[in-house]
Every structure is written in structure tokens, then in C-alpha cells.
Amino acid sequence: MLEIDRLEVRYGGITALRGISIEVKEGETVLLVGANGAGKSSLINAVMGLVPAESGTIRFANADLSSLSCDRRARAGIGYAPEGRRVFPSLSVTDNVLAGAFGLGRARQSEALSWLHESFPLLAERGNQLAGQLSGGEQQIVALARAMASFPKLLLLDEPFLGLAPVWIARISEAIRAMQRLGTTILMTEQMARPALKLATRGYVIRGGEVRRSGPVAEIRDLALADEYL
Amino acid sequence: MHGIISAGIIGIGLGAQYALLALGFTLIFGVLGVVNFAHGGFYVLGGYVGYWAVSSAGLPYPVAVLAAVVATAALGYLFELVFVERFVDEQLATMMLTVGLYLVMSTGVLAGFGPEPADFAFPVTGSWHGGGFFIPWANLIVLGVCVLAIAAVYLVLYRTDLGRALRALADDRPVARAQGIRPHLLFPLAFALATGLAGLTGAVVTPILTLSPHVGDSVLATSFMVVILGGLGSVTGSTVAAFVVGLIEAYSDVYLGGSKGALALFLLVLLILIAKPSGLFGREARRA
């Protein structure tokens, strides 16, 4: 579903990704794990079109993404939950979710909303509250729901456990499992490897903008856990 | 007591006019991050389009108002699309562009209509009187139009997909784009909505105040004061602040008079900003 080939990303004179290649197949949950500054978020942002690729290609559903703007990539079927949640603070919880379903039409939006309310009751309970007033864990649920509201083919999750208490990590993990049960393909990054490894089918350990090891979760576990403490 | 109520009625009328102006101003700042120095120009243009439509084209006043809204909204849409769009993230460039547009607009109406105030009278005369009060029908109609327009703006912003997308863009543009929201499609629409509101205000308010090529200067100053007091980029803040400014202006005018009234208004606004520097509804470091 997603093929990244020799991707290079630079910020001024600093190279964040050095010719990285990864693949995500339909229905998989692939984990990018690595220490802070390894280049995980740069890769997610490059796939979403939020940072330009210096070289290399990104193909999604057999189409080259390089000429597509960020908003067109979203409409092509990529959902995105950014690092640090970044909910729309002045919008209500319901409006945040509906913003993720922009342009789908009223019927499809209602369908998304009732499905997400069923999966995450918090969204219905706090529907009218401003998202900026929620706790970090609650905001993460909103960010996940917003990313799912357009029924994406591929979901990009950037550090979904960042800064969360264990109780919320468990809840977010359950939310991600709910998305997996729906057959959603997921590419997620996480510095906290331990809970993330329980969710993934395959993974890539990234260091210094390069892939150091890849394979099924069992094969990368040791190296991934070593990076967790870096 | 009679004086207090009278001043309050005047203040609410002024507040509704200021709210309509400030809503457009704050919408452009909130969504695009652009300070529209031409906002007063769209008010003036709305007034002159209305005046021309009535006096030269012979159209009925309501149609003239509609023409003013359409003309100012269309100009705003095109101006954003052709000029602002490519420099939207460059504050100095957008400042120069909007200042330039204001100069073109004010000199344009000066060349077209001359420096003297236009004879643009409200078509309804007479007053409503009851309980010892005399309120001109014109003022009541203008107040009604302003309140309806404010309600319509709120409906658009808080009850439609377009409004939700505009508010999302104002909160976090990159993340909004990552949800499939298209700024290149919505920025011109936001600009048109804002300039159309300024044009509407110009067409309905100038017949009860005055219409001359440079009335836009004071409109811009008032809009600035209202949106800063309300909290830059806050729609609700601007609406509340507009009524606060309108009421302060009316009471200080009635009880202090002339220049003392204007001075009192600025001092009170200054005091509010000292107590709450981010404005009544502003966040500490609001990003457009």
C-alpha cells in the first residue's frame, strides 16, 4: 500500500532522513521505532506532504505522491494523527472529528460520527466541550478519531503515546486495536517501544535517519527496547 | 435615567455596526494571518456602490445594498486570489498589498465622486416613539440588519462545514490541510465574506452617518481597537468588544462630550488591555 524508496529529507543543512526505504502492506501495522531525533516524525511528515522530500519516491496505492499537496494526499485516503495531538483547541470535540471528515457530505459525516461515538464513547460524552480543554489522553482520542473520520486507507500515527500516563497508553492501545479490527493499515512511530511493539506486526528501527534493522516484531524487539532509553 | 437608557440604545446601535466591521477584520486575521489595512476601503466602497446604485442607476435601496455586498465580496475574492494568495505567509508583503489597495480604493472614489460628502440619505424617515423615547426608524433598521448579519456569520462559522474548516485553518493550518481542508479554495472565500461584510456595513451605515472618500480611516482604527480589545483572531471576542466599545463611546459622548468622550474611550480600552493584554477573549500567543 505504501512504498518509500531512498527517501531523503533535509532541514537546511541538516539531513533528517538519509535514503530511507520502507514498505507497508495492506492491513499491516508497521512501527517505526527509534530515539528522539532519529527521523521518525520527518518520515511521517514527508509521507503526509508536510515537509518536502529532497530525493526518493513515495508511492501510495500505486500512485506517486510527490506531485500531490498535503490536502490532496489526505483526500487520497491518508489519515494523520500528529505528534503532540495538535487538536484544534478552539473547536468542540465534535467539530474536531467532523473537521477530519471535511467535504465527505452530510450523510457520510453522520455515519463517521455515529461509528466513532460507538467506538469511543468519550467523543459523545464530551462532544460540546472545547478540545483545548481536554486532558492529554482525551486529546489523543480526539486526534485519533479525527484521523479516522474520513475512513482512510492508511493511518499515520506519530508518537501516539507521547507524554501520556500508563492508564491512557492502555486506552489508546485499545483504540488502535479497534482500528486494526476494522482492517485499517497503520504506520506508526513511537519512542516508547514497549507498548507499541504489542500493536505492530512488523517494524523498522531507525537511527540517524537510516534504517538499522527491520523485520517482524520479534526480530527487532531487542534493538528497539535499547533505543527506548536513549 | 432617561439619558442612561438613551445612551445605552445608541451604544447598542454603534456596537452592532462595529461588530459587523470587526467580524470581517478578525476573520481575515484569524484564518489567513493577514492584517487587512484595506478593510476601511471596502466599507467606503460599499457605501459608494450603494450611493451610485441609488442615485445613478435608479435602483431601489435594498437592491443597492445587495449590489454593494456583491461588489465588495467579489473584489475581495479576486484580490485575495490574485495578490494575497501568493504572499499569504509574508506579513510585510500582505501589509503593503492591503495598504496599496486601500490607497487605490480611496483615491479611486475621490476621483470618481469628488472630495465632498455624498448626499446618500436613508430611504426611511421618521422615528419610533414610545416610553418617552424617540428612535429614528433608520437607526432601528440598521441595527436589525447588523444583528441579522452577525447571526448569519455565526451560523456560517459554527453550523457549516465551511465555517468549521475556516476555524480549523485558524487554529492550526498544517494539521487542517492534513485533514483534506483546502486553504487555496477557502482563503478567497473567507476574504470575500469579510469584505462583503464591510461593504454591507458601508452601504447601510453611511446613509445615517456620512459618506466621503476618507471615512475608511476611522473605520480601520475602530476595527483595530475592537479586535485588539476582543483578542486578535477571536470572533466572539470581537463581537463582545464591539458592543463594549459602542457602549463606552455612547456613554462617554453623552456624559463627557466630544474630544473628552473619545479620550475616555481610548483610556478605558487601554485599562482593559493593561489588565488583560491578550484582550477579552484572546489567548496568550494566538497563531492564526
pLDDT in tens, A49-76: 999 999 999 999 989 998 899 999 999 9
CB nearest A91 (choices: B164, B174, B183)? B164
* Portion of chain B with pLDDT greater than 70, in percent: 97
DSSP class of residue B124 equals -
Distance (Å, whole) CA A163 – CA A144: 15
The cell numbers describing A3, all together, are 512504498
* Runs of H (alpha helix) within chain A: 40-48, 70-75, 93-99, 106-119, 121-125, 136-148, 166-181, 193-197, 217-228
| Mutual angle of helices B137-159 and B2-32, in 10-degree steps | 30
Domain range for A156: 2-228
What pLDDT shows up at residue A142? Answer: 94
pLDDT beyond 80 at B262: no
Element counts in chain A: helices (H) and strands (E): 9, 10
* Portion of chain B with pLDDT greater than 90, in percent: 63
Closest by CA position to A94, among listed A144, A131, A121: A131
Residues 6+ apart with CB under 8 A from A59: A2, A3, A4, A5, A65
CATH number for the domain spanning A7: value is 3.40.50.300
pLDDT in tens, A113-136: 998 998 888 999 999 999 999 998
CB nearest B174 (choices: A50, A75, A90)? A50
DSSP string, B142-179: HHHHHHHHHHHHHHHHHHSHHHHHHHHHHH-HHHHHTT
What pLDDT shows up at residue B287? Answer: 41
- Residue A211: phi and psi, rounded to 5, are -80, 120
pLDDT beyond 80 at A228: no
First to last CA, chain A: 31
Using DSSP's 3-state secondary structure scheme, residue A78 falls into strand
8 A C-beta contact, residue A99 and residue A91:
yes
What pLDDT shows up at residue B195? Answer: 97
Least trusted range by pLDDT, from B14-23, B75-84, B148-157, B230-239: B230-239
List the domain boundaries for chain B: 2-112+157-275
pLDDT beyond 80 at B1: no
pLDDT in tens, A70-118: 999 999 999 999 998 999 999 999 999 999 999 888 899 999 999 899 8
CB atoms within 10 A of CB A113: 19
Least trusted range by pLDDT, from B30-44, B200-214, B246-260: B246-260
8 A C-beta contact, residue B117 and residue B212:
yes
Q: What is the mean pLDDT of residues B202-207?
A: 95
8 A C-beta contact, residue A76 and residue A69:
no
Query: Which residues on chain A place their C-beta less than 8 Å from a C-beta of chain B?
Result: 48, 50, 69-71, 73-75, 80, 82, 86, 88-91, 95, 98-100, 102-103, 109, 146, 150
pLDDT beyond 50 at B288: no
| Assembly ipTM | 0.89
Closest by CA position to A34, among listed A209, A161, A156: A209
* Runs of H (alpha helix) within B80-136: 91-113
CB nearest B164 (choices: A73, A86, A98)? A98
Position with higher pLDDT, A58 vs B250: A58
Using DSSP's 3-state secondary structure scheme, residue B131 falls into coil
CB nearest B179 (choices: A89, A90, A99)? A99
Q: What is the mean pLDDT of residues A14-24?
A: 92
For chain A, the domain total comes to 1
State the DSSP H helix or E strand holding residue A53, giving kind and residue range, or none if neither: none
- Residue A172: pLDDT band (50, 70, 90) is confident
Buried b (16+ CB within 10 A) or exposed e, B98-126: beebbeebbeebeeebeeeebebebeeee
pLDDT in tens, B87-102: 988 989 999 999 999 9
CB atoms within 10 A of CB A60: 20
Give A149 to chain B, closest Cα distance, Å.
9
What pLDDT shows up at residue A227? Answer: 65
Residues 6+ apart with CB under 8 A from B95: B35, B37
Q: Residue A21: how many CA atoms within 13 Å on its side-chain side? A: 3
Q: Would you call A90 and B178 a contact, using CB atoms and an 8 Å cutoff?
A: no
Q: Would you call A71 and B182 a contact, using CB atoms and an 8 Å cutoff?
A: yes
pLDDT beyond 80 at B259: no
What pLDDT shows up at residue A229? Answer: 52
CB atoms within 10 A of CB B270: 12
Q: Would you call A75 and B180 a contact, using CB atoms and an 8 Å cutoff?
A: yes
The cell numbers describing B89, all together, are 505567509
The overall average pLDDT reported for chain B is: 90
Query: Which residues of chain A have a CB within 8 Å of the CB of B181?
Result: 71, 99, 102-103
Distance (Å, whole) CA A98 – CA A110: 9
8 A C-beta contact, residue B69 and residue B63:
no
CB nearest A74 (choices: B165, B171, B180)? B180
Distance (Å, whole) CA B168 – CA A56: 32
What pLDDT shows up at residue B285? Answer: 42
Query: Which residues of chain A have a CB within 8 Å of the CB of B176?
Result: 88, 99
Give A58 to chain B, closest Cα distance, Å.
16
